[in-house]
């Protein structure tokens, strides 16, 4: 604590450092001083690095049998295999490291799709208002009324049990959340003094929406995006657990690893615990960063 305080005072005293700056710059400064945010950020960096560098980090191939395992005796952690072997004699650590890739991929792709769709709908509703707003919001209400899991099962049934189905399902579930959030923000900012002032200067409606209202409305969406990455990772694991994800046994996936090792819970509970911890770790990183981001960007949280 004293160290970080010293750093803070050094930082504020540093000559030439500009006081003030844009709102995002201020938020960034608050974020850097928040230990929770740093923790979350470090966790995310570790997660992403593991995902990207899995082939370099993994001591063994995640798909090849490297030891003997029988349903009654699954070798536990040892000097060669830090997390032991799984029920098929594959190196558990390598499988978990490779599993990060699937989680990150599903998280990022479904977040991107969901956010793009939601933001588009939100801008449409927020910019036009009136009957367009009504129409878009009713569509969003309908989307919200379908349970996510049910929808995912439907998508998997329609498109087949593939990773793509999981991504689409998670994306579609998130579309209404982003749309509502952005629409509410935009409606609030559309009635603001600066929007009126811009109107009084003859600024075109498209410029008011895209240059004034949208930039002011977007920060909650960024926060929501970070938090959505966490839920997307959990949802992906959940859908994989239910057997809706990718079916290729050569591709390790945390959710499926959990499901496949259920039978050995009494013999080797670590086979469920380690992938579970991995899921928690990845999701927690995004949640911590997202929550601190919310605090940093929202003036109401400022201390």
Partner 1 sequence: MALLDVKDLEVVFTRRGRRDVRAVDGVSFSVDPGQTVGLVGESGCGKSVTSLAVMGLLPKRGVQRGGSVYFDGANLFDLSDDRMRDMRGRDIAMVFQDPMTSLNPVVPVGVQVTEVLERHRGMRGAAARSEAAHLLERVGIPEPERRLGDYPHQLSGGMRQRALIAMSLACQPRLLIADEPTTALDVTIQAQILELLKELVTDSGTALVMITHDLGVVAGLCDVVNVMYSGRVVESATRGELFGTPRHPYTGGLLRSVPRLDQPRGVALNPIPGSPSDTLPWAEACAFAPRCGNVESRCRESSPALADDPLRPAHELRCFNPLAPAVLDEVGS
- Interacting residues toward partner 1 by CB under 8 A: 20-24, 192-194, 196-204, 207, 211-212, 215-216
Q: Which is nearer to partner 1, 163 or 296 (CB)?
A: 296
Q: Which is nearer to partner 1, 9 or 199 (CB)?
A: 199
Minimum distance between the CB of residue 200 and partner 1, rounded to whole angstroms? 4
Q: Which is nearer to partner 1, 56 or 300 (CB)?
A: 300
210-224 CB burial, b ≥16 within 10 A, e <16: eebbbebbbbbbbbb
Q: For residue 230, what are its two tokens?
A: 């966490």
CA-CA-CA-CA torsion sign (186, 188, 190, 193):
negative
Minimum distance between the CB of residue 15 and partner 1, rounded to whole angstroms? 18
Q: For residue 24, what are its two tokens?
A: 């995002």
Q: What letter does residue 73 receive in the DSSP assignment?
A: B
Q: What letter does residue 234 receive in the DSSP assignment?
A: H
Using CA atoms of 133, 136, 140, 141 in order, give the dihedral in degrees to the nearest 10. 60
In Å, what is the CA distance from 40 to each residue of 50, 57, 80?
Answer: 15, 22, 31
Report how far residue 211's alpha carbon sits from residue 209's, in angstroms, rounded to the nearest whole number: 6
In Å, what is the CA distance from 236 to each residue of 150, 162, 171?
Answer: 14, 12, 11
Q: Which is nearer to partner 1, 174 or 217 (CB)?
A: 217
- DSSP string covering 101-139: HHHHHHHHHHHHHHHHHHHHHHHHHHHH-HHHHHHHHHH
Q: Which is nearer to partner 1, 2 or 200 (CB)?
A: 200
Q: Which is nearer to partner 1, 1 or 18 (CB)?
A: 18
CA contacts within 13 A on the Cβ side of 255: 23
Minimum distance between the CB of residue 222 and partner 1, rounded to whole angstroms? 13
Minimum distance between the CB of residue 138 and partner 1, rounded to whole angstroms? 20
Minimum distance between the CB of residue 18 and partner 1, rounded to whole angstroms? 9
Minimum distance between the CB of residue 199 and partner 1, rounded to whole angstroms? 6
Q: Which is nearer to partner 1, 196 or 277 (CB)?
A: 196
Q: Which is nearer to partner 1, 216 or 247 (CB)?
A: 216
Largest Cα separation within the chain, whole Å, is 78
Minimum distance between the CB of residue 258 and partner 1, rounded to whole angstroms? 43
Minimum distance between the CB of residue 115 and partner 1, rounded to whole angstroms? 19
In Å, what is the CA distance from 257 to each residue of 129, 160, 262, 300?
Answer: 47, 20, 9, 42
């Amino acid at each position: 604590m004293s160290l970080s305080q010293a750093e803070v005072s050094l930082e504020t005293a540093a000559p030439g450092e500009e006081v003030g700056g844009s709102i995002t710059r201020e938020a960034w400064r608050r974020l850097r001083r928040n230990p929770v945010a740093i923790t979350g950020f470090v966790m995310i960096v570790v997660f992403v690095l593991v995902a990207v560098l899995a082939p370099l980090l993994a001591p063994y191939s995640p798909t090849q049998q490297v030891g003997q395992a029988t349903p009654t005796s699954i070798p536990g952690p040892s000097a060669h295999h830090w997390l032991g072997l799984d029920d098929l004699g594959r190196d558990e650590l390598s499988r978990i490291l490779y599993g990060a890739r699937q989680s990150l991929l599903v998280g990022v792709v479904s977040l991107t799709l969901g956010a793009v769709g939601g933001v588009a709908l939100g801008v449409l509703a927020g910019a036009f208002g009136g009957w367009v707003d009504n129409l878009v919001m009713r569509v969003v209400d309908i989307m919200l009324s379908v349970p996510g899991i049910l929808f995912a099962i439907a998508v998997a049934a329609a498109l087949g049990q593939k990773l793509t189905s999981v991504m689409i399902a998670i994306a579609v579930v998130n579309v209404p959340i982003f749309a509502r959030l952005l629409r509410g923000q935009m409606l609030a900012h559309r009635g603001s003094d600066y929007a009126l002032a811009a109107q009084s200067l003859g600024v075109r409606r498209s410029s008011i929406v895209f240059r004034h209202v949208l930039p002011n409305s977007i920060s909650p969406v960024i926060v929501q995006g970070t938090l959505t990455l966490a839920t997307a990772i959990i949802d992906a694991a959940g859908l994989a657990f239910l057997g809706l994800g990718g079916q290729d046994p050569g591709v390790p996936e945390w959710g499926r690893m959990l499901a496949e090792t259920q039978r050995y819970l009494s013999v080797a509970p670590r086979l469920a615990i380690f992938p579970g911890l991995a899921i928690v770790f990845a999701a927690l990183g995004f949640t911590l960063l997202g929550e601190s981001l919310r605090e940093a960007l929202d003036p109401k949280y400022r201390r």
